[in-house]
Amino acid sequence: MLDIKFVRENPEIVKENIRKKFQDAKLPMVDEVIELDKLNRAAINEANDLRAKRNALSKANGPLFGKLKKASEEEKAAIQAQIDENMAAVKANDDRREELEKLEAEYAERIRRIMMLIPNIIDPSVPIGESDEYNVEVERFGEAYTPDYEIPYHTAIMERFSGVDMDAAGRVSGNGFYYLMGDIARLHSAVLAYARDFMIEKGFIYCIPPFMIHGNVVEGVMSQNDMDAMMYKIEGEDLYLIGTSEHSMIGKYIDQIIPEQSLPHTLTSYSPCFRKEKGAHGIEERGVYRIHQFEKQEMIVVCRPEDSMEWYEKMWRYSVELFKSLEIPVRQLECCSGDLADLKVKSCDIEAWSPRQQKYFEVCSCSNLGDAQARRLRMRVKGADGKMYLPHTLNNTVVAPPRMLIAFLENHLQADGSVTIPEALRGYMAGKEVLVPNK
């Protein structure tokens, strides 16, 4: 969310940014919110003037009451008339001030709602494009190798190890759920544990956050469109299941003042994640690529504004380093303007190589949100000079199995149906170097 002062002083910059994001329907919002802001400030100024006049009138009545006690009968009538006149003026002022306070609240809420919809200013380095078709490949890491033997669909690989049961999950929960079992379930947990320790070694503090959050936190960390498409609400309660632990991790700072000397805050968190996947591309009945429930290791950073781009660079490179250590080829893909969520300043995807499809697919997403989440959540930093400012927030996926398992299984599948375990993961798999199918 932008600062209303910035919008007021830079309307053309805000409009041009909206055009770059191909959201022209939002252009009238800029003029509308500026007009509302003008009306709101006028109401505030008038109310302040009335408060000053009320204080002056009340102060003037003090001496008059004193005079009234000592005055002669002839003088009392004139003094009482002056007191009554002042009291009538105070009453009229109070009535008008109450009207203005109601207007202030109305204007403020309308301004807030519109500001929630106006997209954040994107970084100048973001490529301009209407959809993800215009995302730009920046760099590849590792050899994208396709073997001369068939790579089956990922659930077929899992079924060779008796490692997945989609039918049972369908009976219990419906489409978009799964049972993982045996070596595949163990591999799933091993990847998460390895990712946790990988980030701890990078200096991040490990955290297990709440898996449900209040509506005001949801509104603070994501756009309304994303909220409607993703979040499951608990019926009858002000609680939502998290779609990613970033939500509760950033939400941790709501209404908090952070001492500047404690920055940056670098946290890595584990959580289950729950998503409607509304309007995505449909839920594949057999697969575990797009699902309603999964587990994830996340990283978030809260830092000084001048440090956020440096952290952005570090964070996506951590993902690349982790996937390289697991011997999975990846590439970095810069997200274009039209593919950025409204709160994001800059974002990139890390995509893993799929030898079965002979293309890359998303496994991580790294984002710099500038001060948008901080403003929505009323997070502030107290500088050494005592002044307050808004921090920047960033987030990135470390790993998100079972999607990550697809890349792992396809890239480590051997011609005989076995799956090799890279050295970095063997300590989390009781020293196993290879998984052998039982079918």
Per-domain boundaries in the chain:
4-117, 132-435
Q: What are phi and psi of 386, to 5 degrees?
A: 90, -10
Written out in words, the top-level CATH class of the domain with range 4-117 is mainly alpha
Which value, in Å, is the radius of gyration of the alpha carbons in the chain? 29
- Residue 393 CA to residue 307 CA, distance in Å, equals 10
Does the pLDDT of residue 383 top 90, yes or no?
A: yes
Contact 360, 351 (CB under 8 A): yes
* Mean predicted confidence (pLDDT) in 127-141: 96
The CATH number given to 132-435 is 3.30.930.10
Tokens in use for 156? 């077929």
**Model confidence, pTM:** 0.88
- Residue 380 CA to residue 304 CA, distance in Å, equals 11
Summarised one tens digit per residue, pLDDT across range 17-76 is 999 999 999 999 999 999 999 999 999 998 888 877 776 666 555 565 555 555 656 566
Tokens in use for 392? 């920047």
Position 228 confidence tier, pLDDT thresholds 50, 70, 90: confident
* Mean predicted confidence (pLDDT) in 328-353: 97
Does the pLDDT of residue 119 top 60, yes or no?
A: yes
Is-same-fold flag (4-117; 132-435)? no
Q: What is the pLDDT of residue 439?
A: 83
* Mean predicted confidence (pLDDT) in 192-214: 98
Q: What is the pLDDT of residue 285?
A: 45
Position 393 confidence tier, pLDDT thresholds 50, 70, 90: very high
Summarised one tens digit per residue, pLDDT across range 165-185 is 999 999 999 988 999 999 999
Summary mean pLDDT of the chain: 91
- Residue 242 CA to residue 240 CA, distance in Å, equals 6
Does the pLDDT of residue 369 top 50, yes or no?
A: yes
Summarised one tens digit per residue, pLDDT across range 272-316 is 999 987 544 544 445 888 899 999 999 999 999 999 999 999 999
Position 263 confidence tier, pLDDT thresholds 50, 70, 90: very high
Tokens in use for 237? 């309660």
Task: Choose among 285, 316, 62: nearest CA to 176.
Answer: 285
Higher per-residue confidence, 287 vs 138: 138
Long-range contacts of 123-128 (CB under 8 A, 24+ apart): 123/309, 123/345, 123/346, 123/368, 125/346, 126/334, 126/335, 126/336, 126/337, 126/340, 126/346, 127/334, 127/336, 127/337, 128/20, 128/336, 128/337, 128/338
Does the pLDDT of residue 158 top 90, yes or no?
A: yes
Torsion of CA 357, 360, 365, 370, to 10 degrees: -140
